[in-house]
Amino acid sequence: MNAMLPLAEKMLRQYGEFYPYGGYMKADGAIVEVGATVPDTDRPKSKDLIYILRNSLQDAAQRNECKVVAMVFDVTVTLPNSNRKSDAIQVSVEHSNHYSVEVFFPYQLIENDLVYGETFAQSGKIEVFGRAS
């Protein structure tokens, strides 16, 4: 997860947003970054990129190339114990031993500076390694 955050932070500071992306950890601990593109468009829909990313990560899992995968999204969430919404970086992490978590890093962008709120997490879905079994 820590290897995935810096790109989101950089893109938010420079552009105020970012497209979904991901990556995985090999058995030896090496990190592989994974992006996605949709042909014939410069402004792809996030849901299309997420679909492509998930399929790429499922393929890598089926080939036993990875033990952990992560996908990173720019989202709007309702903060815990309140009705207040916030922009957040969502990192969805899934491990080959069928553990999955979604971690949210609420943020505000103030004059190109990223100011984080309180991080929170929830159980995630088994979507990558579930198909690889």
Minimum mean pLDDT among 37-46, 58-67, 91-100: which range? 37-46
Cβ contact 27:67 at 8 Å: yes
Query: Domain tally for the chain?
Result: 1
What is the domain extent for residue 94? 5-132
pLDDT at 36: 87
Angle, CA of 17, 46 and 38, to the nearest 5°: 110
Cβ contact 32:56 at 8 Å: no
Here the tokens at position 113 are 């500076």
Mean pLDDT of 23-50: 88
In the block, tokens 């971690």 appear at 103
Q: Which residues pair with 124 in a beta bridge?
A: none
Here the tokens at position 13 are 């500071």
Instruction: Answer whether residue 119 shows pLDDT above 70.
Output: yes
Angle, CA of 49, 64 and 74, to the nearest 5°: 25
